[in-house]
Structure 1
């Protein structure tokens, strides 16, 4: 198979390119001229791995990039919890998907589209564990990112109903080795924790998220290409836990002290507003913003049983994943213990 990966210079997209190559597939990586491609393999002779310069907001560049490919992995997205210009979420996450779908229709060789959505597209759970049947209530949105992914999910479902060969995947909170981007929020928070800039727990452990290791997610994407049924949704999530448990596990694994107190979310929200102000002055996006705190006030627990049964998805435990992540962060010199 020749696969095209959008968002190839990102956290998930880069690991996906490597995973596809390892499985013997040819890969074309869609990147912008300004993208950091240091984590991608060098282009090879014979087109086993090649770069295609373009952007999902540029329709013509997609037509050129899709030519001769059989599978599209659409992993490109803006995943920030906050942006000074929220319209970018829709131009990339919503209109970008529209462009991908239309360009795929115009490309005769395309056999399958693997679309990377998000658990946010399904909405919060708040006291129960949801599966793929959940539909976003659309009554509240913690972030503009959530709103954009819900809107894009409707477009993907409509495309599936019209017979477009699309498979929709819903990752949980992604963690693991790779680029230290906003999409790798677990690594970012661990760095803050070990540096002493985050001295306590975030809230009181009432939050719940479904954590998935990036390499398990890559395996799930490749399995969806081979086994995923057209028009189906698959949650590629993992262990449901709070960030308090993540910090406790990290302390046990690194043989360091656990945080001694909890920081109320109202204080973290105030700090987030301060970081937003600094961001407007410096242009650097904040790690924590008020929308981040809105997310933490809810629970996002999901079951991946369908993916286990149909795709052979096999997520590792959070403890096993953190036993890999912490030494990796230490080897980079970004944490010490």
Structure 2
């Protein structure tokens, strides 16, 4: 089939391109000309469509002859106003989906996130499945707009236009320069990451990049997935703070041992979130800490992926195998300093 991939110049998007190519698909990517396209230019047969999700005309041009859309592009940072998040994550998805339907595409695979279920007053989420409801109030604009976009995608499912949402959790692996793992390793290299565990064990589902990308390719072909969301994760969850200590040992950083006052930290995060609602701050920078970032490191978040294993496929790359591939890639690019160089 002919597949269009958005967000292809990014980390997960580039792995979706690889997975589509392995499956024998013709691959077109919707990218900005100013994006870093160096990796995509090494993938044989990739067709480039230049444009932007905010430009409906370029989206329609990119959609010509496409059978399936893998929509990976999104605004994922803490930086930005409500208008920016809604335009890129919700309206952008609607524009892309509308163009796909008009062009006769048969399937739309939306890359959602478990963050869509993160609420302001939420706590641990352990082994939850897809029946878990959305919260009344989301933790941040990213969570809110991913939930809104997912709901619109699934509501658009028709017999001649299959829509499916995948929720990969904490994607990691080679070619990631700005995600959670390089950010945390960068802090441990300088010894600036405190122990936020509060003395309790915090469990997390992670998703190796190829496992997430393979799920996308399967979702583009599987029967019975229309109108459904799926959690996508590695076979086994990890204990967050033990994993961070192991990463510090692997890459020469200092494991987080310095304890901080949790109550003070939560108050600082709340204050930062309130201040960064002001457009002058939100447009220029990310908050130094947020309730969302704090929740990722202090709330357990594990997912029942039995539905994905039944309807799509079980993850084929285990944690240790993925870590070995990550280490080999880090060596190839020049070491851990290069891995974390782009972290801001």
Query: Do they fold alike, i.e. is TM over 0.5?
Result: yes
Q: Provide the residue aligned with 1:135 in structure 2.
A: 133
How far apart are 1:267 and its partner, in Å?
Answer: 5.9
Task: Compare 233-242 and 313-322 and name the one that shifted more.
Answer: 313-322
- Within the candidate set 44, 56, 59, 2:56 is matched to 59
Q: Distance in 1 between matches of 2:255 and 2:176?
A: 26
| Structure 1 partner of 2:14 | 14
Give structure 2 stretches of 5+ with no counterpart: 339-344
Deviation at 1:31, TM superposition (A): 0.4
Unmatched tracts of structure 1, length 5 or more: none
Q: CA deviation at 1:257?
A: 6.5
CA RMSD in angstroms comes to 3.1
Q: Which moved more, 1:246-255 or 1:225-234?
A: 246-255
What do the CA deviations read for 1:147-187 (whole angstroms, capped 9, x no partner)?
11111122122112686311111111111111312xx2112
Q: TM-score, normalization: structure 2?
A: 0.83
The counterpart of 1:262, out of the listed 238, 252, 259, is: 259
Q: For residue 202 of structure 1, what is the aligned residue in structure 2?
A: 196
Q: Which aligned pairs between 1:155-170 and structure 2 lie closer than 5 A?
A: 155-160=152-157, 164-170=161-167
Confirm or deny: 8 A CA contact 1:171 1:217 kept in the other structure: yes
Q: Is this contact kept in 2: 1:234–1:306, CA < 8 A?
A: yes
Q: TM-score, normalised by structure 1?
A: 0.84
- SS of equivalent to 1:160: coil
> Which of 87, 94, 98 matches 2:94?
98
2:173 corresponds to 1:172: no
Is the counterpart of residue 213 in structure 1 residue 201 in structure 2?
no
Are residue 304 (structure 1) and residue 318 (structure 2) matched? no
Deviates more, 1:171-180 or 1:83-92: 83-92
Q: 1: CA distance between counterparts of 2:87 and 2:210? A: 28
**Conservation of the 8 A alpha-carbon contact between 2:106 and 2:160:** no
Tell which deviates more after alignment, 204-213 or 22-31. 204-213
Comparing 259-268 and 170-179, the one that deviates more: 259-268
- Aligned pairs, how many? 326
- In structure 1, the partner of 2:184 is 189
Q: How does 1:213-232 map to 2 (within 5 A)?
A: 213-227=208-222, 229-232=225-228
Residues in 1 aligned to 2:289 and 2:331: alpha-carbon distance in whole angstroms = 23
- Separation (CA, whole Å) in 1 of partners of 2:253 and 2:6: 40
Question: Mean Cα displacement is larger for which, 63-72 or 240-249?
Answer: 240-249
Cα 1:317–1:248 shift into 2, 3 Å: farther
Q: Is the 1:30–1:51 contact (alpha carbons within 8 Å) kept by the matching residues of 2?
A: yes
Deviation at 1:134, TM superposition (A): 1.6
- Cα displacement (A) at 1:34: 2.0
**1:213 touches 1:315 (CA, 8 Å); kept in 2?**
no
Query: What is the CA deviation profile of residues 69-128 of structure 1, one whole-angstrom value per residue up to 9, with x for unaligned ones?
Result: 111111111111x114232111111111111111111112x1111111111123466253
Q: Find the aligned partners of 2:41 and 2:169 in 1 and give their Cα distance.
A: 26
Aligned partner of 1:49 in structure 2 is 46
1:314/1:88 CA distance change after superposition, 3 Å: same
The C-alpha deviation readout for 1:131-160, integer Å capped at 9, x for no partner, is 12222122x322110011111122122112
Out of 48-57 and 65-74, give the one that drifted further.
Answer: 48-57
2:85 pairs with one of 77, 86, 89: 89
- CA positional deviation for 1:264: 4.3
SS at match of 2:220: helix
1:71 to 68, 73, 81: 68
